[in-house]
Amino acid sequence: MATSRGTSGPRPNRALAYLESKKNLTGSACGILGVALTFTGTAGTYWPLVVAGLYGAGALLAPPEPLPLPDLPDPSEQLGTLREDFTKLRDYLTSSVDLPPAAGGKLTELLSLYEALLDPGWVADLLATDPDSVHTLSRAVRQDLPECLDAYHRTRWWTRLNPGTEPPERHLERQLAALFTEADTLAAALRATESRRQQTHTTYLEDRGRS
């Protein structure tokens, strides 16, 4: 009995979906036209074939059903997960990674900026409304920054075998500076968005007062 219900359960849903589909609605409209032709005597004795043919033609000519929208992740949820990943990365970097003073200072500035952007509050709420910014920050925290530090440690090992080459910390400093510029540009865009919102609200209040 359970198997019978399991195999027949989805059928009513599929049947209902087809009844509501554009193919069935268009085909039915054409079929009604065939019935009208039957009553006027135009279809003759072959009226069932005329009705069925018009229904089939209408179903074939009906526009396709729209594709369902993809289930996109919620930026707020993405930001919460990113915040957890950043916390783990920051704790690891501050406790286990030893860098030269210049690179270490740039890393500290970069981590402080990331922390400010991800800190729960109105800034993070504003960031969550921009999926592109969330993607940029996520890529920087989860990919770019770890890869920069990993490349530095691997290159430093090879530098021991080839003394006199360009110090790897120079590249690391430039990479960290580029990441800081990217994050600072993102923060500036968020500040501009908030400023526009404030200006819009000010204009609204002033217009309301004049009216």
Helices (H) and strands (E) in the chain, counts: 10, 0
Residue 149 near residue 171 (C-beta atoms within 8 A): no
Residue 130: partners with Cβ closer than 8 Å, 6 or more residues away: 75, 189, 190, 193
Closest CA to 168 of 144, 145, 149, 141: 149
Rounded CA-CA distance 21/91 in Å is 55
Instruction: Report pLDDT for 69.
Output: 53
What does the block give as tokens for 6? Answer: 């399991």
Instruction: Report pLDDT for 116.
Output: 92
Ordered per-residue pLDDT tens for the chain, 211 residues:
444 444 444 444 666 666 566 666 676 776 676 666 666 666 566 666 666 776 776 666 666 666 555 554 555 677 889 999 999 999 999 888 888 899 999 999 999 999 999 988 888 888 888 888 889 999 999 999 999 999 888 887 766 656 666 778 889 999 999 999 999 999 998 888 888 887 888 887 877 877 7
pTM of the entire predicted model:
0.61
Residue 144 near residue 179 (C-beta atoms within 8 A): yes
Number of Cβ within a 10 Å radius of residue 27: 21
Instruction: Report pLDDT for 7.
Output: 45
Rounded CA-CA distance 164/136 in Å is 36
